[in-house]
Amino acid sequence: MIKKGGRKNGDGTVLGARVGAVHMEISGNREVIFEGGRGILEYSESSIRINGGKYVVALRGRGLHIISMTESDTVINGFITAIEYIV
Amino acid sequence: MIVVSILRWLIGRISFAVEGRFPERFINLCAKNGINLWGLRGEGERITGCARLTDLRRLEDAAKKNGHRLVIEKKSGLPVMLKKHRTRCGLLAGLIISLGLWFYASGFIWNITLRLPDTINEYEMRATLREYGLYEGAWAKSINVDSITDSLCAGDKRISWMTINISGTDAEVNISPNLSYGTKKREGIILSNMVSAADGTVTRVNVYNGTAEVRAGDGIRRGQLLVSGVMEYTNGTSVLANSRACVYAKTVRSVKIELPKTVYEYEPDREAEKKDVSLFGLCLPAAARQALYGERTVDTDRRQLSLLGHGLPLYFTCEKHRSYIKKPVELKLPQAEELLKGKLALYELFMLSQTNKGRVLNKRITVKEKPDGFVLEALYELEEDVCVNTVIRLDDRKEQEAPAR
């Protein structure tokens, strides 16, 4: 079932529709862009946990920091060693 | 990213630090309240970051609500700078004046780039364009591009078409050459013989079209028929043709160069530099200089000031003037011989350029001293193509004389 509110991509596919409206874009292991996150649960240089609604996304690594944050989007930069989904 | 940085600087920014337990709550509250944060770094129970200057009050509220301690470390950006310098009216006036001047100056032509064919001299074209009102320092809106292009294309037969593109303060002039200019109109088939242009002895005969009238070893005189345009076939018929051939012959040329015993040399005397600054075509002297008179040479170095690869209408011209004293020198035979041989080398170059595929086989040079000067006599033995075309006139059949070489 496709939920409403998902962002449509250029080719007509719906992003974030099946995964609780969170869209995550990962560039290598240096940068992650979250769209639709519901808040930061933990923030330190070695670990950042973001509330994704039905689950929590935990990033682990070194020198992690938020380079930009708005109400819906969060850009995290640093040396990421692991991405964990806590359901 | 540069654009974002400029926008943040224009809006104004604050660097802050938040201290207290669970600083994530502060971040979440800020996000919920629509406060944009960037550059966040967590150090235990302390978070540092940046926000917009306008969000300062809301940041303080968020910190107070969560029981955190907010420390404003730095305020920066345009609003902060303006507030800091608000009492300094001179700065503001200077800024307004400079912006006004910038706006005013951008209405002029700063640079003219010419893309010309080899047949047209750049200096000459700049002078012509100046007459039509296109020059560095001209008001861009006053330039009538269509009128200039029409007038120049109609007036100068070397130009096939031209365009003038004015973009901002730059004018680019593209000129395409008229390829038919200077070339003779192609005439119909010319019937011609080939005659000798000089006296000599034939060494080689290469006939491409026509009938050879001489062979290798024959002596020839100037104006003698070498290759006939009448071609006879074995069946007895004949046709007239445009003869083409190379007839190489040994020829002799002599030259006599005289030099007086007293010649004048120019010795460098004084040097002076003339520096000018040219702004929008207005030339201003940049340094006081000493005037030089008499015989002199000038080396000119002109440089344009450019900013970020874009030429500005500011030129620095440095002219190095050197004056010379005319001094008589009594020549002796070795010096005279050297000078005469230099002149002979120039003559030789000129002579060979005048001949058709000519080369020097042998030369004899004698230098003699006479009471009134020195004389160099040179005798050249050349091998050259001596053929020249003469038209076969079908109306009166009179043969033309060979043109003088």
What are the C-alpha distances in Å from B242 to residues B65, B191, B295?
Answer: 108, 4, 55
Mean pLDDT for B31-60 is: 88
By the CB < 8 Å criterion, does B43 face chain A? yes
Span A21-86 CATH architecture: Sandwich (2.60)
Mean pLDDT for B1-17 is: 91
B377 within 8 A of B341, measured Cβ to Cβ: no
The number of residues making up chain B comes to 405
**Structural domains of chain B, ranges and CATH numbers in brackets:** 2-83 (3.30.70.260), 111-177 (3.10.20), 190-261+331-405 (no CATH), 264-329 (no CATH)
Q: What is the ipTM of this complex?
A: 0.71
By the CB < 8 Å criterion, does B30 face chain A? yes
pLDDT tens sequence across B194-249: 899 889 999 989 988 888 889 889 899 988 999 988 888 888 888 888 888 889 99
In terms of CA atoms, which chain A residue is nearest residue B38? A68
Which of B33, B32, B16 is closest to B68 using CA atoms?
Answer: B16
List A residues 42-71 in contact with B (Cβ-Cβ < 8 A). Answer: 42-45, 64-71
Supply the mean pLDDT for chain B.
Answer: 85
Bridge partners for B279 per DSSP: B282, B314
Distance of residue B81 Cα from the nearest chain A Cα, in angstroms: 24
Q: Which residue has the tokens 């519901």?
A: A38
Domain assignments of chain A as residue spans, ordered by start: 21-86
Return the structure tokens found at B153: 């294309």
Element (H, E) at B29: helix B23-32
3 state SS of B104: helix
- Sheet hosting strand B211-212, strand order edge to edge: B211-212, B225-228, B192-196, B387-391
Mean pLDDT for B292-306 is: 82
pLDDT tens sequence across B81-133: 888 888 888 888 998 999 999 898 888 888 888 898 888 888 889 899 989 98
